[in-house]
Amino acid sequence: MRAQSSAIDPTGIAVSTGSGPTAVVPSRDPAPGDRRAGTVQAALGVTAFSLTFPATAWGLQGFGPWSLVTVRCVLAALVAGGCLLALRIPRPARRHLAGLVVVAAGVVLGFPLLTTLALRTSTTAHAAVVVGLLPLTTALFSALRTGARPSRTFWLAACAGAAAVIAFTVQQSGGALTGADAYLFGALLICAAGYTEGGRLARVMPGWQVIGWALVLCLPLSVPGALLALSYEPVRLTAHSVTGLLWVAVGSQFAGLVVWYRGMASIGIPKASQLQLAQPLLTLVWSVLLLGERLTPAAPLTAAAVLVCIALTQRARG
């Protein structure tokens, strides 16, 4: 096994490049340019994630839920594994394996599976309730796991933004709870844990390697799972189903998480998480354009309120 060396990531933190001990440079407050770059990267991740539910709805037109989830994991792992092999990236240090397992369980397998099962009977508007609560939940997990202590202004703005999104999405779905809600709230908890652990790991290794190794770790489960699911669930290849599958595999599962984890490492997990307040609203826009769903006149008012909350969380100290 190759000895591990360290390099300084653009965020100013020591990056692991092997499997031996690494001298970690103490974290510092990012420079204004780094903060802007990190915010842009996290925002790109949010944009990619906002297409996940509509793309999943398209994928379900031709694949069963278990087939869609397992095949997307295999395709994403092949892309990630190819990049890791091409660049000859050494295996991650043993001390990082537990964190990668949490990322794999929460982001690679758990969240996609539970939300896909929910979307069999739920609209994308109703499923957006999960994403509306995810920023606040991720900030809470981050405070517990990493010791982050955002300011009171941050928490007030985060709670106000979450309340605005929840009120809008519940109103959009008619205020009714469905059988899919158990899946959605379970997905919320495990995804927040995966985001938090991934953001923490992205401070000691490049973000694309975090999700890349998490995807590779899932191959012993995703490959036999895909073969089994495809043997039981009928497949109907259409333009929509194939496009949906490719997007959730490459766009959401890999590329989106690469820029997302890098953004979290740069600006911090709590602040990056609050950018996701815009995700349900973006998802609803895509649901109108791609799925033909209808929005209420409350959408622009909610969008304005959410943008104000996002601005406050990004300017809050701590």
Assign 23 a pLDDT band (cuts: 50, 70, 90).
Answer: very low
Retrieve residue 101's tokens. 């397992």
- Tell whether the model's pLDDT for residue 13 goes beyond 90: no
Handedness of CA 163, 168, 170, 174 (dihedral sign): positive
pTM: 0.74
Instruction: List Cβ<8 Å contacts ≥24 apart for 141-148.
Output: 141/192, 141/193, 141/195, 141/196, 142/196, 142/199, 142/269, 142/270, 142/273, 143/270, 145/196, 145/197, 145/200, 146/196, 146/200, 146/269, 148/268, 148/269, 148/270, 148/318
Name every residue whose Cβ is closer than 8 Å to that of residue 141 and which is 6 or more positions away in sequence. Answer: 192, 193, 195, 196
Assign 124 a pLDDT band (cuts: 50, 70, 90).
Answer: confident
User: Going by DSSP bridges, is the β-strand pair 14-16/6-8 parallel, antiparallel, or unpaired?
Assistant: antiparallel
Q: Which residue has the tokens 């000895």?
A: 3
What one-character DSSP code corresponds to residue 29? P
- Tell whether the model's pLDDT for residue 30 goes beyond 60: no
What pLDDT is attached to residue 7? 38
pLDDT > 90 in the chain, percent: 30
- pLDDT single digits (tens) 153-196: 877 887 887 788 777 767 766 666 666 778 888 888 898 888 88
- Tell whether the model's pLDDT for residue 106 goes beyond 60: yes
The mean pLDDT of 188-208, rounded to a whole number, is 86
Rounded CA gap, 200 and 239, in Å?
38
- pLDDT single digits (tens) 224-262: 999 999 999 999 999 999 999 999 999 988 888 888 888
| Lowest-pLDDT range of 27-31, 115-119, 308-312 | 27-31
What pLDDT is attached to residue 3? 41
User: Mean pLDDT of all residues in the chain?
Assistant: 80
